[in-house]
Structure 1
Amino acid sequence: MKIRSATLRTFTTVHTWVGLVAGFALFVAFYAGAITVFHHELQLWQSPHAAERAPETLADAQRLLDETLRRHPKAREHVGMLFPGGESPHSIIYWQDEQAQWRFATLQDLAGSAKPAQAGLSELVNALHFSLGIPVAGTYLMGIVSLLYGVALFSGLVIHLPRLVQDLFALRPGRNLKRFWQDAHNVVGVLSLPMHLMFAVTGAMLCLLFVTLLALDPLVHRGQLMPALPAAMDTAPVIAPAGEAGRPGTLAMWHARSVEVASQQGQAAFEPAYLKLANATDRNAVVEVTGESPGALGPLGAVALDANTGELLGTQLPGSRDANHATLASAYALHFGEYGNAWVRALYFLMGLGGAFLFYSGNLLWVESRRKRRQVQQGRAQVNMARATVGVCIGLCVAVSAAFVAAQGLEWLAQRRVLDVDAGLAWVCFGAWGLCALWAALRPPVHAARDLLWLAALVTALVPVAHGLATDWWWWTSAAAGQWGLFSIDAGALALAFGFAALARATSRRAHAGEPNSVWSAVRGTT
């Protein structure tokens, strides 16, 4: 395919600068996103003895619901609840109190708390992925970054179209560092292009959903967006309370009835996961049961019932959903790999790490392509970009691993004294990240990269050690007991530790044996 040289230069410039502008945020999103694929397993991993507790039953969940409605009258207006099952062996219930603050309760904590138990680590990683850890504005920022990400993908594809086939599997290691990073960047980018396009589209959609709704409100809803929103997002109709007591059904009835309705609509494997109950104990009580249908692209679907009689009020199930619900369910499932089994999620984990590598290697390629080969002193822009890449990217890896280690230590301390585990995790993560960025800013790039990579290897290797010491669940005991969620996290941490160590050794070799006139050389004291 022949493309004019002027066109290629234009697209190369667009690709380079869009990649640089969005690259740091995308590295964070992909690295954290790879881990958040195992969101539910992280909660079990953080909880000291959750793996040893017997799974709860519907009867246990019913007792939790009854006690919550009795103790907390505000929960009767609207309450959500997880069924014990595949997502979590233990129920949790949540509602908003009189101050519109969320409360969470379990059978072990019927009084309720402001945060769900043992969910701090998974929520922290998810916040890094979804909003860079920045409240509110971070979500919209990541939506814009996703759009820039799409531009970078398209421009990169145009650049490599003329030599796509012959360069696809070309990976040429050697002294030419620029060529090696170029090959690695191209191979990862081209082979994973379909997945990256999907991530860009679904990421922008999920982050900018409400911005898009507000923008289209005058055209679609004629300024009546908020009244129309429940029907667009939920399955159950909005019904005002009658003010008269009803005869509420049970969790077992709602569970069985939703499975029956789903089976009648061709979803025989439908498994309820959570519910939303409105107007509890009232004659107009309504319950919406959401569950998964294995084999569907967007497996999440919902059945709305009269909570007293079990009468069917509406459904949004795979194969019979409206366009809005089908699009949102599919986008969510595609983005997080919710439509497949454990092998699909493992693939998403690898794709997430590959995406992080793509943006890391893009920054290294930019630095190397601007290297001054005839002088020791390199340009300030190259040095600063190298320092920023090391501090932000490798620093994030250290920070996330430090949060994992801290999670086990803080949970152990929380059993012995009053302690805000979630706040501690945030302090450890962002504090470690800031210190790594400071270290990278003060040290020559090659020394900072080597130091932080070895630190990342050490801290990541401590993840399964901390878990074993705190809970007695070592990776081999987890495997022997069939606790594959625990095993996958500990084994994955060890694999990442080996990877960081290999990169640290490669960086050291490059520093002493590579071409001397570079920010990555230590031979002649490059600063």
Structure 2
Amino acid sequence: MKIRSDILRVYREVHGWVGICAGLLLFVAFFAGAVSMFEHPLQNLTSPQLDMPPPVPLSRTPDLLEKVFSAYPQARQTYTILLAPDRSLPGRVAWPVHPPHGHDTGPMFVATLAPDGALVVRQQAIAPVAHFIDMLHQELGIPLPHAISRAFMGIIALLYGMALISGVLLFLPTLARNLFAFRFREGPRKLWLDLHNLLGFFSLPFHIVMALTSVVFAFHDPIFAVQSRVFGTSHASPHLPMNKISSPVAANQHPASPLLPPTELVSSLETQAPGFVPTTLTYSQGRGGMMLRVSGQDSRYSMRGPTAGFATVDPRSGKVLSADYLPGHQKTGFAILTVFFALHFGSFGGNAIRWGYVLLGLAGAGMFYTGNRLWIDARRRREKATGLRRDSLPTSILARLTPGWVAGCVSGITVILLLGAIKPDIMTGTAVAYVYYAVFLSCLSFFLCRPQKT
């Protein structure tokens, strides 16, 4: 394929400048995103081990709830029955210590029964390390308010798309000749170029998906507003707290009738949604009465959340009231929108897909690093051609900033994960952010201040 040299020159300029403006931020997004593909296992790894008896059998949950409500009446407002307890929440029932605000539930009370039937309650501060890494991925490593960083991420995603298009057009004329070329003997610049092209070409579909879905996430709220109007649903988001969602069906419940025992609810769901494996039953006093959201997994279908799909269920009859986010039971419009989310999260196909996303995410981070190295080398050659013996100030800063930024991101994430696993008790609240940015800024300062080779 032949493209005019003047057009290629324009594409090269677009690709270079867009890449250099977004490359370091996208490195953080891809590296942290690859790590956060296993956010829940990492949360378990970095959570303190609670000293409490094993969870009671699911059939004894009504007895446990009766004792919880007697000792903690506020738990009636919002509580969760854990069908698959783990290290972070090792009891059968959990509820927030403070009323939940948005996505962050804060510390949780966890309850079970001792062998003699006595109520055992512990407070668990949900380990923030894994969530912090996920937020680094979402906010590109910039500590700004989430609403601002999300819009900024959308702009970076659009630039990212421009870089992809221009890069493909640059590579097409030499595709057959350079696809598998690794020119070890022609200097590091040629090797960086070959690696950059190889990583970019073979992960191109993945990068296109990431660019498109990142724009969707950046403009999350308008998309949900349009979805609500077009598809006639009152569920603005599957992640809203249950007490913020109104359901017309919930208003028709009979408050006097008892709640269905968890074992019967699970059996009812198995009948209505075969293959869907529930993991939590979250009860909440909503605007129309007691509401129940069931979270669970079904690897045969795309899931709306990073690790789960959702169903709104009548807690008194076990009937599914809303399958808008239930894998395999969505209407066409919702299923199409879910595909966008699942393609970004890798929430389909089980762990094989997740590991694939980890490798593609790390490859993407490598592609952005090599892209910056190539831009720096090209700028140095142009400056030497004009007679400069040393790097100009902008080139020098970027040449130092690139390895410092990359080393800071990788080292910061590694340190907080290690400290979270070894000393989970101290890695709480803002301590995680302080440790990460201390390591990040230390690496950045080291590379910015060290003498530059001539």
Q: TM-score, normalised by structure 1?
A: 0.71
Percent identity between the two aligned chains: 28
How far, CA to CA, are the matches of 2:166 and 2:443 in structure 1?
33
- Structure 2 residue 293 is the aligned partner of structure 1 residue 288: yes
Distance apart, 1:102 and its partner CA: 3.2
- Structure 2 residue 282 is the aligned partner of structure 1 residue 276: yes
The amino acid across from 1:237 in the alignment is S
Q: How does 1:36-185 map to 2 (within 5 A)?
A: 36-47=36-47, 49=49, 57-59=57-59, 69-80=69-80, 82-84=82-84, 90=90, 93-95=94-96, 97=98, 100=101, 102-103=105-106, 104-107=108-111, 117-131=125-139, 132=141, 133-136=143-146, 137-185=148-196
Matched-pair contact (CA < 8 Å) for 1:55–1:89: no
Tell me the equivalent position of 1:461: none
SS at match of 1:30: helix
The answer for unaligned runs of 5 or more in structure 1 is 264-268, 446-521
How far, CA to CA, are the matches of 2:24 and 2:122 in structure 1?
38
Matched-pair contact (CA < 8 Å) for 1:246–1:284: no
Tell me the equivalent position of 2:339: 330
Distance apart, 1:361 and its partner CA: 0.6
Tell me the equivalent position of 1:298: 303
Tell me the equivalent position of 1:406: 419
How far, CA to CA, are the matches of 1:328 and 1:67 in structure 2?
42
Q: How does 1:354-369 map to 2 (within 5 A)?
A: 354-369=363-378
How far, CA to CA, are the matches of 2:247 and 2:288 in structure 1?
15
State the structure with bigger RCO (CA 8 A, min sep 6), 1 or 2. Answer: 2
Cα distance, 1:232–1:134 mapped onto 2, change above 3 Å: closer
SS at match of 1:278: strand
How far, CA to CA, are the matches of 1:245 and 1:99 in structure 2?
27
Cα distance, 1:120–1:144 mapped onto 2, change above 3 Å: same
CA deviation string 1:472-527 (max 9, x = no partner)? xxxxxxxxxxxxxxxxxxxxxxxxxxxxxxxxxxxxxxxxxxxxxxxxxx4xxx2x
The amino acid across from 1:47 in the alignment is S
Tell me the equivalent position of 2:15: 15
Cα distance, 1:48–1:85 mapped onto 2, change above 3 Å: closer
SS at match of 1:297: coil
How far, CA to CA, are the matches of 2:159 and 2:56 in structure 1?
45
Matched-pair contact (CA < 8 Å) for 1:232–1:325: no
Distance apart, 1:292 and its partner CA: 1.5
Cα distance, 1:368–1:241 mapped onto 2, change above 3 Å: same
CA deviation string 1:175-213 (max 9, x = no partner)? 422221111111100011011111111222123211445
Larger mean Cα displacement after TM superposition, 76-85 or 29-38 = 76-85
Kindly indicate which of the two structures has a greater share of residues assigned to helix. Answer: 1
Matched-pair contact (CA < 8 Å) for 1:241–1:285: no
Distance apart, 1:406 and its partner CA: 1.9
Tell me the equivalent position of 2:441: 434
Q: How does 1:458-469 map to 2 (within 5 A)?
A: none
How far, CA to CA, are the matches of 1:406 and 1:270 in structure 2?
36
Paired residue total: 427
Cα distance, 1:8–1:51 mapped onto 2, change above 3 Å: farther
How far, CA to CA, are the matches of 2:63 and 2:129 in structure 1?
28
The amino acid across from 2:435 in the alignment is V
How far, CA to CA, are the matches of 2:179 and 2:191 in structure 1?
13
Cα distance, 1:338–1:243 mapped onto 2, change above 3 Å: closer
Matched-pair contact (CA < 8 Å) for 2:125–2:428: no
Tell me the equivalent position of 1:314: 322
Distance apart, 1:221 and its partner CA: 4.4
The answer for unaligned runs of 5 or more in structure 2 is 113-118, 240-244
Matched-pair contact (CA < 8 Å) for 1:236–1:314: no
Matched-pair contact (CA < 8 Å) for 2:44–2:86: no
The amino acid across from 1:352 in the alignment is G
Cα distance, 1:434–1:117 mapped onto 2, change above 3 Å: same
CA deviation string 1:79-129 (max 9, x = no partner)? 45543169988456345845858352222797776xx63522111111111
